[in-house]
Chain A
Amino acid sequence: MRFDSLLDSVGHTPLVGLPALSPSPDVRLWAKLEDRNPTGSVKDRAALAMITKAEKDGLLHPGSTLLEPTSGNTGIALAMVAKQRGYKLVCVMPENTSPERAQLLRMWGAEIIYSPAAGGSNEAVRVAKEISRQHPEWVMLYQYGNEANALAHYETTGPELLADLPTITHFVAGLGTTGTLMGAGRYLREAKPDVQIVAAEPRYGELVYGLRNLDEGFVPELYDESVLTGRYSVGPRDAVRRTRELLDKEGIFAGISTGAILHAAISIAAKAEKEGQAADIAFIVCDGGWKYLSTGAYEGTLEEAEAALEGQLWA
């Protein structure tokens, strides 16, 4: 496949069957390999779409500075696109993220401002909003509320899935900004009204939920509950177990949030098999495992991995 530039190659990712993990020829699991994007994650789609939209809206000029709260992947993707297009990037990232993410961000030229570990991405959003008020000249694309994020998946991820798997019955993805699920979910629903759209959200350690009061809670502006048909909370132990299973049985080396997504996909598959329903279940492989090697998720017993992930933002 030939493209005019790296940015033109975003998306068009393979959908691969999982013969060993699928329960039967009638109930099949399919992995969409988003790690095959230029910076190695599903976030390249949203980053490219948000920057392109901001350019169209006249918000960006040569040398403009972007500001974004991110747990890593969006920042890395934005850094790459920003560098190609001539912008600077300042990322606000929780300090309990893997060091590989910070290294990658710096490689692509981004500056990092750390937000406190307690409160996780919630704090990163709060700190970024505060910095944005101090630097009104910086452009915050704000992935949690930017329609271009969801639209990227409506226009690319969704159509790719339907083209490759016209018989799709279920779509399972991670829930962060909710962009992937809202965009691809809406597209698939329009084409197939009965399709099940299922979210898998990471359940972190207590530190991350340590709000001072419940009113500081956060629901992304992009989130529309009516797009989803189900939502599962997946803890680190199940996520790591499935991440390892994906590698063992199918040879796919994925990040830990993919393990959480696979956990939900496998339970859906088991239920369909038990009920004698045919199912084609597609799920997102958000990124490869490279950025998480230092977390301890890939070595030792499950207990050790779970202990190592305590307090970290592993998805």
Chain B
Amino acid sequence: MAVEVRIPTILRTYTGGEKVVSAQGSSLQEVVSDLDASYPGIAERLMDESGLRRFVNVYLNDEDVRFLDGLSTAVADGDSVTILPAVAGG
């Protein structure tokens, strides 16, 4: 299952500057593991022992995965995953 992953500026040091990369997996957890295999170290920036880091937001097709099944959220072929740092809005 291939999904496209949008990488925020701050993590592009891992992807050689690439904004959008492709990753495999049937759950978000698997997608992150696959990302880490291609871009070692990136998973640790996204997660700690308790799950997604506080200032990291991950969206599956524009929906915040914390309100889906978190890292267990199922992903399907062609889905789009967006990673963004949490910043002040308003």
Contact = CB atoms under 8 A, between A and B. Distances in A.
A203 B84 contact: yes
Nearest to B57: A233
Given A209-B8, A209-B9, A233 B64 contact: yes
Interface stretch (B22-30, B32-40, B48-56): B48-56
Contacts of B59: 232-233
Interface string A191-229: 000000000011100101111111111111000010011
Contacts of A175: 89-90
Interface residues of B, number: 23
Interface stretch (A9-17, A116-124, A151-159): A116-124
A160 B89 CA distance: 25
Given A122-B88, A201-B89, A231 B9 contact: no
A37 interface: no
Contacts of B62: 203, 232-235
A122 B87 CA distance: 6
Contact of A144 (B8, B64, B88): B88
B9 A121 contact: no
Contact of A209 (B53, B67, B84): B84
A223 to B, nearest CB: 9
Most buried by A among B53, B56, B59, B90: B90
Nearest to B67: A230
B67 A229 contact: yes
Interface of B: 8-10, 45, 53-57, 59, 62-64, 66-67, 82, 84-90
Interface of A: 69-71, 74, 119-122, 124-125, 143-144, 174-177, 201-203, 206, 208-220, 225, 228-235, 315
27 contacts: A69-B88, A71-B90, A121-B87, A121-B88, A121-B90, A143-B90, A144-B88, A177-B89, A202-B89, A203-B62, A203-B82, A203-B84, A208-B87, A209-B84, A209-B87, A211-B85, A212-B10, A214-B55, A217-B54, A217-B56, A218-B55, A218-B87, A218-B88, A219-B55, A231-B63, A233-B59, A233-B63
